[in-house]
Amino acid sequence: MPPGLKDVAARAGVSIKTASNVVNGYVHVAPETRARVQAAIDALGYVPNPAARRLRGGGSGVIALAVPELRSPYFAELAGHVVETAAPRGWTVLIEQTGGRGNRERDLVAGLRRHAIDGIVLCPVGLATGELTRRHGIPAVLLGDWTRGVPGPPRRPEDQVPVAAQARHGPVDHVGIDSAAAAAEATRHLLRLGRRRIAAIGASGRPDAMPRPQRLAGYRAALAGAGLVPDPLLAVAVRGQGRSHGAAAIEELLARGADFDAVFCFTDLLALGAMRALYEHGVDVPGDVAVIGFSNIEEGRYSTPTLSTIDPDTKRIAEIAVDMLAERLTGNAAAIAPREIRVEHRLLARESTLGRPQL
């Protein structure tokens, strides 16, 4: 029902191919002809059919963004930036929620949606490091802590890459901040304020997945740098990444009778839950316990107290990710060697560590 090139061509009195040439900006079209075709296009409200283009062998103009959960503010903000960056470049974004399941993440990069999308931006959390570098189906850009060289957990049988995917190889890019360094910075910030009993919230409760091992490593490195030995009593694993899990972690610490004067949470969301739990127990932040998070979601700028955190410059990460993907999709994907981009991060010290500034 919607008009196709056929209709445009008929109206302009040219061949279908000429109409196509006008649409695609082919050079050798007489100005007069071009104008006539353009007029037909405008009059009919012609829009190219991406399905046909895609079928013909071209791209669909759609890229996927795979995040664990849209409900998580960090990923929502990231998604917003990705969509906004992609739009002016002519890309549409399709959102996938992985739920942090490694299988799902692997399937997506292996090309589960290969027919619908040209490429994918993935925030892996369930996958072991190194699993994605070699065999996969479609151009992909990885976001986040995921780092070369950190050993992953042992492989399970279901982790095997399906045969069809193994046949195809391709490059994988990576964008992210130096999470270990950032985590160390956050921890040192607490140390600098005189805190010595620093709890860490956010290590994974599951032994088979290892989300954010860099953050744990950075925390330990900073403690070591201050001559402190990490106290196992102060490290709390979580079963999820929501506010409630941060709150539960505080309950756990208190139930353990742990003595702590600061908490480093691996995400802002955990920190916000933790702060709430501390408040409910009458623990003053930062008077009794300083709290610092990680990711700088907007919520932390308006919480009471405002949340100190690491700002990973999410907008820039999104821009770089989209640009890198676009580069692979327009150029020769295989010709570009896998890239590893480090984005600068900042420490944002706010009320949850510094206290309320004097008015």
Angle, helices 5-12 vs 31-44, to 10°: value is 120
Q: Is 113 in the site for a copy of itself (CB under 8 A)?
A: yes
Q: Is 105 in the site for a copy of itself (CB under 8 A)?
A: no
Per-position x/- string for 301-330, each x denoting binding to a copy of itself as judged by CB under 8 A, each - no binding: xxxx--------------------------
- The CB-of-120 to DNA minimum distance in angstroms stands at 20
- The CB-of-55 to a copy of itself minimum distance in angstroms stands at 5
Q: Which is nearer to DNA, 29 or 237 (CB)?
A: 29
Q: Is 272 in the site for a copy of itself (CB under 8 A)?
A: yes
DSSP annotation string for 256-293 = HT---SEEEESSHHHHHHHHHHHHHTT--TTTT-EEE-
Are 268 and 306 in contact by the 8 Å Cβ rule? The answer is no
Q: Is 92 in the site for a copy of itself (CB under 8 A)?
A: yes
User: Cα–Cα distance between 292 and 306 in angstroms, integer?
Assistant: 10
User: What residues make contact with DNA under the rule CB under 7 A?
Assistant: 2, 4-6, 14-18, 20-21, 23-24, 26-30, 32-34, 46, 48-49, 52-53, 55-58
HSE toward the beta carbon, residue 165, CA cutoff 13 A: 22
Q: Is 44 in the site for a copy of itself (CB under 8 A)?
A: yes
Are 265 and 291 in contact by the 8 Å Cβ rule? The answer is yes
Q: Which of these, 272, 124, 153, 150, lies nearest to 201 by C-alpha position?
A: 272
Q: Is 6 in the site for a copy of itself (CB under 8 A)?
A: no
Query: Which region, judged by CB under 8 A, interacts with a copy of itself, from 67-75, 186-194, 217-225, 317-325?
Result: 67-75
SS3 call for 96:
strand
Provide the β-strand partners of residue 65.
Answer: 95, 121
User: Cα–Cα distance between 215 and 235 in angstroms, integer?
Assistant: 12
Q: Which residues contact a copy of itself (rule: CB under 8 A)?
A: 1-3, 43-45, 47-52, 54-55, 60, 62, 69-71, 73, 76-77, 79-80, 83-84, 87, 92-97, 111-116, 162-165, 168, 242-243, 247, 272-273, 275-276, 279, 298-299, 301-304
